[in-house]
Amino acid sequence: MKKTRIIILFILGSVASMHSQELDVNLQVRPRFEYRNGYRTLLPEGQKGTSQISQRSRLNFNYKQDELVVKLTLQNTRTWGDVPTNAVADKNGVAVFEAWAQYNFTEKWSAKMGRQVLSYDNQRILGEQDWGQQAQSHDAFTITYKTEKQKLDFGGAYNSTAENTLQTPYTVANYKALMYAWYHNQFSDALGLSFLALNTGYEYANTDSKLLVDYKQTFGPYLTYKTSKIDSNFWVYGQTGKSTDLQVSAWNAAANFNYGITDSFKAGLGYEFLSGKAANDGSTVIKSFNPIFGTNHGFNGFMDYFYVGNHLNNVGLQDAFIKLSYNVNKWQFALSPHAFLSAADVVTPLNEKMDSYLGTEIDASFVFNFKKDITVTGGYSQMFGSKTMEFIKNGDANHTNNWAWLMISVNPRIFNWKK
């Protein structure tokens, strides 16, 4: 009888272990104050800057059962005051930011489907865009193969406006189809190399109103070298293919080198080139590089003058910058001046070539880890624009163009259950 009881307990324990479950629920509340006085573009003459508070509220559900992993993220984004205090409905409502299921077939192979974040390397081409309160996610299917030092991802997506029964124009400001492959090899603790190949298809109607899809390819390597003192990276991306029946030929390259002078103080240098097209270039070829789905706020200055919903199909950009950072206790401070130049000639309607210098931006920021689940961040930036910047973006370069922000992020875990 005793042996039988032991056997039964063993079987029940084995079954329970085979069906282990875990549910984790966490919350994010992230309000951000911004003073915009020449943010994204030079302040027009005679105009005044403005201030507002935006907020992201998220509820994350993470569930695991054996080989199955499921995530659901609900979020609301708002500007304080965009609805009255007695509103019966929210302006933006609650949106699904992530809703995906992943199955791990083996320790090496897995597949994921649903609304998900596609984020790779330093997020220059594919990123979450977390600075934006709404962030960025895709309806996609991905397959992953990984070992201790290597990882390979394949992914794809196909979009429609609704469950149509006839061919219907895709009117959403988004790609019609997407395919990509990403490979990473960690050769050593210090050296890592990735390669990304991305194919994006955008629908358009030709002169006969026939719906067509043109595909543009973005591809290239991303190299990192990190030691206890050195943190550096280098990348080169090319763009080819077609867009609305026009040939694409553009490229992007950058190098960053950071060195830990002490345990608390780091200094770095960087340079990035994004190809562009001169105004007097009569070619129909698209020569301006587009970072596509990149987290562009993290590049080319925090004031978002370039590639954050702007500066596309333009003269391109050269960005030379310095990065200084200092950590002490719960504080982190950073200072980064940028010198901006055009990548292609800036030419007036009178065919006069202008100086390539666009301006200088200085970014100062801090992070304060107030409590375990509470982080306070903020910063101040100022743009010293040139006459060439005025010509490209309009506005008044002589006006004080600056931006300041303060953000509080509260991220508590509200529920955790394991079986």
Q: What is the pLDDT along the chain (419 residues), one digit of tens a residue?
A: 455 455 444 434 444 445 689 999 999 999 999 999 999 999 998 899 999 999 999 999 999 999 999 999 999 999 999 999 999 899 999 999 999 999 999 999 999 999 999 999 999 999 999 999 999 999 999 999 999 999 999 999 999 999 999 999 999 999 999 999 999 999 999 999 999 999 999 999 988 889 999 999 999 999 999 999 999 999 999 999 999 999 999 999 999 999 999 999 999 999 999 999 998 999 999 999 999 999 999 999 999 999 999 999 999 999 999 999 999 999 999 999 999 999 999 999 999 999 999 999 999 999 999 999 999 999 999 999 999 999 999 899 999 999 999 999 999 999 999 98
Kindly state the tokens that stand for 20.
Answer: 């282990």
Residue 181 carries which side chain, given as an amino acid letter?
A: A
pLDDT at 2: 53
Domains of the chain, residue spans: 2-418
pLDDT at 207: 84
**CATH: 1.20.120.530, 2.40.160.100, 3.40.50.11060, 1.20.1250.20. Which one for 2-418?**
2.40.160.100
Q: Measured between alpha carbons, how far is 200 from 284 in angstroms, rounded to an integer? A: 20
pLDDT at 154: 96
Beta bridge partners of 374: 371, 410
pTM over 0.85: yes
Q: Measured between alpha carbons, how far is 169 from 176 in angstroms, rounded to an integer? A: 10
